[in-house]
Amino acid sequence: MKKYSETHEWLEIKDGVAYVGISRHAAQELGEIVFVQLPETGAAVSAGQPACEIESVKAVAEVNSPVDGTVTAVNTALEDAPELLSEDGDAWIFAVEPSSAAAGLMTEEEYKEFLG
């Protein structure tokens, strides 16, 4: 079950690992994504703070981590195929080992309502 932040990232916990991606809405707003500056494995991230950047042809956006923790893995498939983020709202960007529970995130329903 994905949970969403107000800055349009999602967080999904699978087998104890928290995966982070961006919402379909965010991907659409950005347009064709051309590059993902992945964070480094082992980097500390904080909830609501930028963890990495994604670029479209004529825009650049920061991806905030929805949760405090440490980056344990990055989706290297995005290095060669950043378009996966444009095409598929399910592509994850990085995985985090949370150091505290995620707070203030929305369910899919709530997020839809938030978008209005």
State the residues that interact with other proteins by CB under 8 A: 32, 34-35, 55-60, 81-83
b/e sequence 28-54, b meaning 16+ C-beta within 10 Å: eebeebbebbbbeeebebebbeebbeb
* Residue whose CB is less far from other proteins, 12 or 53: 53
Rounded least distance, CB 98 to other proteins, Å: 27
* Residue whose CB is less far from other proteins, 36 or 105: 36
Rounded least distance, CB 35 to other proteins, Å: 7
State residue 111 phi and psi, 5-degree precision: -65, -45
* Residue whose CB is less far from other proteins, 12 or 55: 55
CA separation for the pair 35, 59 (Å, rounded): 11
Rounded least distance, CB 77 to other proteins, Å: 13
Are 11 and 5 contacting, i.e. CB atoms less than 8 angstroms apart? yes
